[in-house]
Structure 1
Amino acid sequence: MNSFNHQAVDQPEHPSSDEIDLRDIAIMLINGWRWIAVSMATCLALATLYLVASTPSYHSSLAYTETSDGLNVINRIPGIAITPQQAVSELEIRLGSYERFRGFLDQHPDYADMLMQDSPPELEGTVLRTQFRELKVAPGDLASGSPGEVSFSYREDIDGAALLNQYFQWSQRQYTEDLLARVDRSLASAISRNEADMEAHLEAYDAELDATVTRMSEEHSIRRLELQDQLAAERAAERASREERIRTLEVAEEIAGMLGITKPTSPLSLGDADDAARIVYDNVSIGNDLPLYFLGTEALAAEREVLKQGLDQPISSPAIRQIEKQLEQLQHQRRIEAFKSRESDSAFIDAYNQLRQENTLLRANRITADDIHVVEVVNVAYRPIHPEGPGKALVMALAVILGGMLGVMLVMLVAFSRSLRRYRSQTA
């Protein structure tokens, strides 16, 4: 230092000039080499302290993209409609959740111990939250097709790449299990709704069947009463017809007795006129039907007696027999008996059977985690060879350059300061 000051004072004075003398600058820098060396040594010492104090940091990232058909199997389930974009967004929310990160560490205590690095238990929450801040989730751009990325920065003593890969896989499994739970809830809800509809259809059919049976029973009773009335009317009419026949026979029998006709005869046999007169009488009197008294008293009495005896016996006729046949058929209500003998009405309800078939198909759905693919991993995380930031050689080189620059500036400032003082002393 002293040599620099002595030589600077003993330099011959030259006439003042505004021009820069490169020779003087070079001599000034050579004479101030100690200042430059001290500045460079200081910067190198600071750089060395930085390298010793700083902890190497590594950065790993995992890239993923959505799948086009990984959710088709669950979207066929009633009540499930999840787009690939929605699934990726929900997964990213899970990845960025500290509570789920803590859940992952609870199930993987080795990674939790690795992150804690012998920190006291009371600082566990603070340490883990600090480590979690180094986990970044960057959603992909669907428009440009760029994949999403999950990155993690960590110290040298942490296997951050394995932690990141495990955390991503764990989050994806957890989300897949959540999707399976949604599917199970949706299937159970659909089956429950169908069962409620089936019960409603069955109750409605039972009510309709009860009304039908009641209506048929009433119609059946009315029909029986109507036929019974018809039967009574037919029997009364038949009896009246027979009684009227008996009275007619009695009158004819009385007339035949008065005429002395005991045997069946004809009008031609009653008179003794000649043949011509008989032909005329026959043409005039016979006609289509002869009076009953021509049958004679014997025949009339026999018919009358048979009719009287028939009055005490059940009266029958074709019409009565037809009505009795219908009444016999009405003794059994076969359709109503069939309705009442059913063990279940479900087989006769089309809507019920359709819903039961739908429930059978719903229960046949067997979806596993292997059937669901939320995202596709493009690049797994790996540990880089070198840590983040500049290397040691670069830091030392920058320290030398910066130290040299600061030394040159210091030398020039000292020279300028002394030149200014000298100028002031000369002009004083």
Structure 2
Amino acid sequence: MSSNSPISVGPLSNEADLFSLFQAVWLQKKIVITSTVLCALIAWSYAYLATPEYQVSSILRPAAINELDALNRSGVYTLPPSEALLKVGSSLESYDTRLGFFRNNQALFSQFKNPDRSLEQSFEDFNRSSLKLILPDPKKAALMSAYIGLELNYPQGVDGVKILNGLVDYAIAAEREQIAADLKVIVNNRLTELKGKLDAARASYETDKEGRIATLLEADNLKRAQLQDELKALRQQLKTGRMDRMSQLDEAIGIARQLGIKKPTTPSALGDPVRSGETSVMRTEINNQQIPLYFMGVEALEAERAALQHRKTDDFTAERIAQIARELQLLQSNREVEVLKQRQNEDLFLGGVEPLRAEIVRLGGVANLDISNLKLVSVDREALEPLGPIKPRKALIVAFGVVLGGLLGIFIVLIRHTMAMRHGQKPYPVPAGVLAGSIGSGKTVQKQRP
């Protein structure tokens, strides 16, 4: 028969418990070693059997100022290098750009496609887990130049270098095409605006020309009507004067017949008797009074009256009529109107359109600007073949397996030791030196007696 009696061994009881646990682990070290080796083998198998994952990256920086000088000097589209870098970065981050590259290069993404998924779903998985855009830290932006990075994680068997470099080139080309389209739209809009101004200038010129022609023709018509009215009035005046003259001649002829004056005479000669013996007499009479018309004699007056009766026109009697006829002849055709109507290239006569034409010519040169080789960004670092995979990290995985296996073995030993203590099985003996030290310290330990 055996009995257990408590013995006070003092503060060494905790050390004894720890030592007993250590002793239990040591005595069952095979379990710990076996667990460690097993976990290490599992970790090693995973590390060497898992599909390696690689990573490539590319860095873009702003292009040189001279690369964008032709575009900026066009005066139509302004694109600083920093803004060009942001545009390319936005294109790289754009879902539409990435999807377009994925669709156009499906052979490169064969391992990412899943037969049970649509093309967009396969791309969504690739886009979410494989691509990453890297932007500079705003806190360090003052210490370094601007840049944009792009990282790609891909499994073994995928040409990640070609994918990443191709995506960068595709994004740059897409942004270049967008700039070309924007430039074309801006140039076309400005050309349309300038052509509209030219059309307005042509319309204004046509209106002015038609107004000028109408004004000239109206002035000619007015002048012609005035001259014709003047000519008609003058002829009427001349006719009236001729009729009045004939009436005067009729009256003078009657008086001359009554006085017996056949030949032209004077009042003094008419009063003197005819001197006998004189063959011819010449008299000169000076006075300030007009001699009556009948002194011209019947013969002269009748001759003048006959001439007036047979006159068909009185135009030759007035110099103004010839002048009017000359002016009417000149008004038959307006040479200025003829010249205005015969103009061939009327654009040459448009006023104030020289700047518009110069701008149209300049914009035509801008529209023909070749931006296919426009360098929007500088590829500071292209994607290169990686030296090794980033996943799995074999040494780290094996080390983790060793640690995990050791901890698992220790845990199993402790569980077994605890279960043995609870079922009253014989515990592992405590060394005598430890027991003696525990008694001297005043702690209580269980001493087994036979």
TM category, shorter = 0.7 to 0.9
Name the structure 2 match of 1:41.
37
Q: How many Å apart are 1:88 and its aligned residue?
A: 4.6
- TM-score of the two chains, using structure 1 as the length reference: 0.72
Q: How many Å apart are 1:153 and its aligned residue?
A: 0.3
Q: How does 1:55-70 map to 2 (within 5 A)?
A: 55-67=51-63, 69=65
Q: How many Å apart are 1:377 and its aligned residue?
A: 2.0
Which amino acid in 2 is paired with 1:223?
A: K
Name the structure 2 match of 1:104.
101
Distance in 2 separating the partners of 1:346 and 1:78: 27
Name the structure 2 match of 1:349.
350
Which amino acid in 2 is paired with 1:64?
A: L
Q: Do 2:50 and 2:392's aligned partners in 1 also have CA atoms closer than 8 Å?
A: no
Distance in 2 separating the partners of 1:328 and 1:402: 125
Distance in 1 separating the partners of 2:397 and 2:311: 142
Q: Which has the higher contact order (CA 8 A, sep 6+)?
A: 2
Q: Do 2:255 and 2:294's aligned partners in 1 also have CA atoms closer than 8 Å?
A: no
- TM-score of the two chains, using structure 2 as the length reference: 0.69
Distance in 1 separating the partners of 2:358 and 2:86: 36
Point out the more displaced range, 75-84 or 228-237.
75-84
Q: Do 1:61 and 1:152's aligned partners in 2 also have CA atoms closer than 8 Å?
A: yes
Name the structure 2 match of 1:8.
none
SS in 1 for 2:150: strand
Summarize the Cα distance change of 1:270–1:58 in structure 2 as closer, same or farther, 3 Å threshold: farther
Summarize the Cα distance change of 1:150–1:293 in structure 2 as closer, same or farther, 3 Å threshold: same
Q: How many Å apart are 1:385 and its aligned residue?
A: 1.5
Q: Do 2:239 and 2:314's aligned partners in 1 also have CA atoms closer than 8 Å?
A: no
Could you tell me the percent identity over the aligned residues? 20
Name the structure 1 match of 2:320.
319
Distance in 2 separating the partners of 1:136 and 1:302: 130
Distance in 2 separating the partners of 1:371 and 1:41: 61
Q: How many Å apart are 1:259 and its aligned residue?
A: 9.1
Q: How many Å apart are 1:162 and its aligned residue?
A: 2.5
Summarize the Cα distance change of 1:179–1:303 in structure 2 as closer, same or farther, 3 Å threshold: farther
Q: How many Å apart are 1:329 and its aligned residue?
A: 0.7
1:40-77 Cα offsets, whole Å, 9 max, x none, are 22331232133134322211111223447555645666
Q: Do 1:255 and 1:293's aligned partners in 2 also have CA atoms closer than 8 Å?
A: no
Specify every segment of 5 or more residues in structure 2 that has no aligned partner in the other structure, as ranges.
1-5, 274-283, 428-443
Name the structure 2 match of 1:231.
231
Point out the more displaced range, 96-105 or 159-168.
96-105
SS in 2 for 1:63: strand
Name the structure 1 match of 2:11.
18
Q: How many Å apart are 1:123 and its aligned residue?
A: 5.0
Q: How many Å apart are 1:157 and its aligned residue?
A: 2.4
SS in 1 for 2:149: strand
Q: How many Å apart are 1:190 and its aligned residue?
A: 3.9
Q: Do 2:253 and 2:301's aligned partners in 1 also have CA atoms closer than 8 Å?
A: yes
Q: What is the number of residues matched between the two proteins?
A: 401
Name the structure 1 match of 2:301.
301
Which amino acid in 1 is paired with 2:327?
A: Q
Point out the more displaced range, 374-383 or 134-143.
134-143
Q: Do 1:73 and 1:372's aligned partners in 2 also have CA atoms closer than 8 Å?
A: no
Summarize the Cα distance change of 1:49–1:425 in structure 2 as closer, same or farther, 3 Å threshold: farther
Distance in 2 separating the partners of 1:77 and 1:310: 88
Q: How does 1:19-418 map to 2 (within 5 A)?
A: 19=12, 21=15, 24=19, 30-67=26-63, 69=65, 73-74=70-71, 88-97=85-94, 100-113=97-110, 115-116=111-112, 121-122=115-116, 125=119, 127-133=122-128, 134-140=130-136, 144=142, 145-203=145-203, 205-245=205-245, 247=247, 258=259, 262-263=263-264, 286-287=287-288, 290-292=290-292, 296-297=296-297, 301=301, 304-305=304-305, 308=308, 311-316=311-316, 317-343=318-344, 345-350=346-351, 355=356, 358-364=359-365, 365-370=367-372, 372-389=374-391, 391-404=393-406, 407=409
Distance in 1 separating the partners of 2:51 and 2:331: 105
Distance in 1 separating the partners of 2:83 and 2:157: 37
Q: Do 1:264 and 1:294's aligned partners in 2 also have CA atoms closer than 8 Å?
A: no
Summarize the Cα distance change of 1:267–1:153 in structure 2 as closer, same or farther, 3 Å threshold: farther
Q: How many Å apart are 1:229 and its aligned residue?
A: 0.7
Q: How many Å apart are 1:324 and its aligned residue?
A: 1.4
